[in-house]
Amino acid sequence: MKLIVAIIKPFKLDEVVDALTGVGVTGLTVSEAKGFGRQKGHTEVYRGAEYDTSFVPKVRIETVVADDVAPKAVEAIAAAAKTDAIGDGKIFSIDVSSALRIRTGETDDTAL
């Protein structure tokens, strides 16, 4: 199993979720996040007081998938989230040692 963590542009969320369900992903978690990479922040001005905001709003998607689904899921996210502009985001894939569905007690791949 792999944990896939994707940091994407917020407005791409719906397309990415559609693409993931298209390759067989059955569940995921979404959270609002802030951060920075090569795309720096922006400047805000309130009555002449300038504030540099170094963190850019992003959406963080987490999903755990079976090993054979993982490459397809990563490709699907990448294709859906791509705008060719700076700040499109990143995708990480991490090995997961176990999974458990609380209601039934099913484990690992059957719990996904």
Partner 1 sequence: MTFSLRNIATAGLAAIVATPAFAMEAPANTAPAVAAAEAAATIAKGDTAWMIVATVLVMAMIVPGVALFYGGLARTKNMASVLTQVLCVASLAMIIWVIYGYSMAFGDTGNAYIADFGKVFLKGVTADSGAATFSDGVEIPEYIFIAFQMTFAAITAALIVGGTMERAKLSTMMVFTAIWLTIVYFPIAHMVWATGGLIFEWGALDFAGGTVVHINAGVSALVGCLILGKRVGYPKEAMPPHSLTMTLIGTGLLWVGWFGFNGGSELEADGVATLAVLNTFVATAAGVLFWMLGETISGHKGSLLGGCSGAIAGLVAVTPAAGNSGPFGAILIGAVAALVCFWFVTMMKPRLGLDDTADVFGIHGIGGIVGSLGTAFTMLPGLGGPGAEDYNAMAQLVIQAKAVGVAIVWAAIGAAIAWFIAKLITGGRVSEEVERDGLDLGEHGERAYNY
Contact residues for partner 1, defined by CB under 8 A: 44-49, 51, 53
Nearer to partner 1, 14 or 52 (CB): 52
Alpha-carbon separation of residue 34 from 40, 41, 83, 97, 100 (angstroms): 12, 10, 19, 28, 30
Are the CB atoms for 2 and 96 separated by under 8 Å? yes
Nearer to partner 1, 11 or 46 (CB): 46
Return the DSSP state at 41: -
The minimum distance between CB 45 and partner 1, in angstroms, equals: 5
Nearer to partner 1, 51 or 92 (CB): 51
